């Protein structure tokens, strides 16, 4: 049984893993927001070699250290890898199938958040990157 699976909007790209998440976070950084056109992005990180992909991702180097994978057909953002988090792939919790037991554990880059969204939880809030 797959623990986690997900897909892009059109279904050309799919992923699955039986691994447990390494960490989870809600990111408010401007790069994530612009990449997804979303006010906040929910991340779930896995060891890269535990995730199996179907379909071919397109890639965009969004910073000096980070590369984002997306579907070339529908444009859905699918993955993030960085030299800062070696051997990890960060996936978008909102692309997961069904309602897995995903729980964000913190807010990162809270200093860059949009001021028109209200955050009503007691999760730790880090102005920039969270300590890993
Ligand atoms: Zn797609
Ligand atoms: Zn971010």
Q: What is the CATH number of the domain that holds 89?
A: 2.170.150.70
Residue 122 lies in a domain: no
Per the structure, the complete domain to which residue 50 belongs is given by 4-112
Residue 119 lies in a domain: no
Residue 96 has, within 13 A of its CA and on its CB side, a CA count of 21
Ligand nearest 74 Cα, by number? 1
Structure tokens at 2: 């797959």
Question: In this predicted structure, what is the pLDDT of residue 27?
Answer: 98
Residue 100 lies in a domain: yes
Show Cβ contacts of residue 116 under 8 Å, excluding neighbours closer than 6 positions.
39
Q: How far is the CA of 61 from the centre of ligand 2 (A)?
A: 14
Rounded mean pLDDT of 57-77?
A: 97
Residue 132 lies in a domain: no
Residue 81 lies in a domain: yes
Rounded mean pLDDT of 116-130?
A: 94
What radius of gyration do the chain's Cα atoms show? 14
Residue 125 lies in a domain: no
Residue 104 lies in a domain: yes
- Residues 7-50 pLDDT 10s: 999 999 999 999 999 999 999 999 999 999 999 999 999 999 99
Q: How far is the CA of 7 from the centre of ligand 2 (A)?
A: 20
Question: In this predicted structure, what is the pLDDT of residue 57?
Answer: 98
Distance between CA atoms of 21 and 102, rounded to whole angstroms?
A: 9
Residue 49 lies in a domain: yes
Question: In this predicted structure, what is the pLDDT of residue 99?
Answer: 75
Indicate the pLDDT class of residue 78, thresholds 50, 70 and 90: very high
Task: Please state the domain count of the chain.
Answer: 1
């Amino acid at each position: 049984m797959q623990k986690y699976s997900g897909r892009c909007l059109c279904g050309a790209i799919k992923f699955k893993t039986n691994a447990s998440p390494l960490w989870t976070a809600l990111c408010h950084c401007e790069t994530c927001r612009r990449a997804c056109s979303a006010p906040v992005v929910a991340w779930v990180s896995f060891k890269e070699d535990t995730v199996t992909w179907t379909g071919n991702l397109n890639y965009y180097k969004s910073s000096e250290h980070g590369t984002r994978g997306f579907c070339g057909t529908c444009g859905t953002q699918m993955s993030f890898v960085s030299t800062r988090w070696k051997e990890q792939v960060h996936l978008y919790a909102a692309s997961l199938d069904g309602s897995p037991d995903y729980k964000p554990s913190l807010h990162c880059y809270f200093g860059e958040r949009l001021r028109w969204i209200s955050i009503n939880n007691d999760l730790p809030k880090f102005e920039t990157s969270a300590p890993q």
